[in-house]
Amino acid sequence: MIGSAHLTKIARLHKKHADKRTAYQWIVANKIVRKADAISVEDLNIKGMKARCKPKPDDVKQGRFFKNGQSAKRGLNRSISDASWGALIEKIEYAAAKSGKSFFKVDPKNTSRTCSKCGVIDALSRFGEKFVCTSCGYEAHADKQAALNIKTRAVKTTS
Ligand SMILES: [Zn+2]
């Protein structure tokens, strides 16, 4: 049996950890807003966190999902990191509004598969961290490339 004093201690540690994360997120949010003239992010609500946590039909059919629970665990980890990401985004949005800077949420569809130079969408252009366009040969870090697409989408909404 775990004593209530022990449980209180655990609860306190959880709170301490959450407080630290919140404080850190405010530091990051303020830093981002200070450095930028405008901020654009992928709108996670468009995809929906629920859909991501669902196991793929193939996983269920082949028993992979039920056998080792890997897919379920991945979904859970993903939703936890999404929640944390969402909390950071909220702080950035707040900090941007406070300092009068523009904040955009854009459709995240294909941001990592679209070439920011020629606009061709191809999953084969992406190799992990590297992006090499199968159409025009443009090379970039995959995250930077996706960020450029997010920026372009934000700019489009203003014109
Ligand atoms: Zn291209």
pLDDT in tens, 40-53: 999 877 655 445 44
Going from the Cα of 115 to the center of ligand 1, the distance in angstroms, rounded, reads: 5
* pLDDT confidence of residue 64: 43
Closest CA to 148 of 112, 98, 124, 123: 112
3-state SS class at 130: strand
Report pLDDT for 78. Answer: 66
Q: Is the pLDDT of residue 28 over 60?
A: yes
Report pTM. 0.69
Q: CB neighbours (10 Å) of residue 65?
A: 19
Cα separation, 144 vs 115, whole angstroms: 11
Neighbours of ion ligand 1 (CB under 5 A): 115, 117-118, 133, 135-136, 138
